[in-house]
Amino acid sequence: MAFATSRAQQPSRPRLLQAMIDAWSQEDVRSKLIFVFAMLIVFRFVAHIPIPGVDPALLDQAFQGDSSTSAFLGTLNIFSGGALRQLSVAALGVYPYITASIIMNILTPMIPSLQALSREGEQGRNRIQLYTHWMAVPLSIVQGYSQLLILQRLGAVTNIGFSGPEALPTFAAVISMAAGTMFLVWLGELITEKGIGNGISLIIFGGIVSGIPSLLPSVFNSSVSFFGIILLALIVLVAVSSIVFFQEAQRRIPVQYSRTQFRGGRQYRQQGSTHIPLRILSAGMIPIIFAYSIMLVPSFVGETLATSSGGFSNDVGNFLTNVFGQQSLPYYLVVFLFVVLFTYFYTLVTYAQQNLAENLQKQGGFVPGIRPGKPTNDYITRVLVRITAAGAIFLGAIAVMPYFATALTNVQALTISGTGLLIVVGVVLDTMKQLEAQLMMRNYSGFIR
């Protein structure tokens, strides 16, 4: 009652500001927020620890070049929170772990043993999580070595190889990068356990946000017109608004439950109704990340072949590098196609793992006008395919946004990443919802009405 009176005495406070005050006033919520901030500071500290044998001057020359490879490195640098530009132990970020998670999600419905583990509850999920961690280690080693090869071609590092005197320094560098990735994964899981929000997503969020301020001076020091900067700001604003809309949009399928209970020797039939929320953007950022991961393969192969002394392999390497350069229109068209395909693939695979129709039938639920069992499954699948079309096209548009935004605004100095915007907005929405749940448990009014 005292709380209601205090809120009534302060009617002019903005809702968001009042919700932040309410969250900070709760000791347990405040301790979780402080823990999250402290872990993000630790992440930023690790991002400034370089691997052995790094020459900062050579790294600056590589990132300031005009080649498509340097533009590609600039994009990776944003996602690593500036760690790649300093070639720190956290240069890979948590993306090898994300790739491993995507692979495990794809393999789970295909391998009977993994499918059986996924149905064993928390113990089975923990076992699959352990397999994901094991897979992330070799992926970190491969990705780390590939990045070192690209940096060596640009002149940023020297003496990379696993033969002769270069073997020991290369081994130390690759192992350091893999260890940094696994440390960030552990840090993210610690945030999930003791803080608020998804720790892995917050690590990525912290890396992206921390890299944005360093890019702004290069924009205003360039020859871009004031109109170009305003147009860029409008494009980003529209993109953020669209991401929020598609993240929250859903199709609700009505479901009714009919159960029979016996009380005092009499039979009672109870009925209730609810709905199944099918999200238009249920796949999130995973299709974009997976599409870019696939598109990295020709680039890595091209960079490796281009380092050869000459001949046919060198020509093939240069061809792959030019065709799949990030500044080319064919590159983004292929990315758009991959994003659409992977959105459908991941959404349908995830839906198949949930067994919604089977679980509804076991719980006595049914969709009005649809027979239980296979007809219900077919109906939900048809609805899911239709609404996923909008989400897939939207994700594809977000993926190719950097190309068209650069063409319209002529802002070459700023690397706009649709994936980065999607991650930032998604993490903010998810964290706000979790903080909202913490406040609602204590009868506080949160961010979302």
Domains 13-215 and 226-414 share a fold: yes
pLDDT reported for residue 137? 92
Residues in contact with 61: Cβ distance below 8 Å, sequence separation at least 6, in sequence order: 154, 155, 156
More confident residue, 244 or 215: 244
Side chain identity, residue 189 = E
Q: Where are the domains of the chain?
A: 13-215, 226-414
The CA angle 210-147-190, to the nearest 5 degrees, is 45
Confidence class of residue 8 from pLDDT cuts 50, 70 and 90? very low
Confidence class of residue 138 from pLDDT cuts 50, 70 and 90? very high
Side chain identity, residue 184 = L
Mean local confidence (pLDDT), 231-236: 79
**What is the maximum span of the chain, computed from C-alpha positions, in angstroms?**
89
**Phi, psi angles (nearest 5°) of residue 324:** -100, 25
Question: Minimum mean pLDDT among 131-145, 264-278, 429-443: which range?
Answer: 264-278
pLDDT tens-digit profile of 383-405? 888 898 888 898 888 888 777 77
| pLDDT for residue 264 is more than 70 | no
Taking the domain 226-414, which CATH number applies?
1.10.3370.10
Q: Residue 10 corresponds to which tokens in the numbers above?
A: 């302060």
Question: Minimum mean pLDDT among 100-114, 169-183, 291-305, 347-361: which range?
Answer: 291-305
| pLDDT for residue 206 is more than 60 | yes
**What CA–CA distance (Å, rounded) separates 444 from 423?**
28
CATH domain 13-215 topology: Preprotein translocase SecY subunit (1.10.3370)
pLDDT reported for residue 232? 75
pLDDT reported for residue 304? 64
Mean local confidence (pLDDT), 77-102: 78
Tell me the CA distances in angstroms from 285 to 159, 201, 348, one per residue in order: 36, 11, 15
pLDDT reported for residue 183? 93
More confident residue, 181 or 365: 181
Q: Residue 110 corresponds to which tokens in the numbers above?
A: 């295909």
pLDDT tens-digit profile of 208-231? 777 667 666 656 655 666 777 777
pLDDT reported for residue 439? 73
Within 10 angstroms of residue 229's Cβ, the number of other Cβ atoms is 16
Rounded to the nearest integer, the mean pLDDT of the chain is: 75
| pLDDT for residue 76 is more than 80 | no
Mean local confidence (pLDDT), 359-383: 82
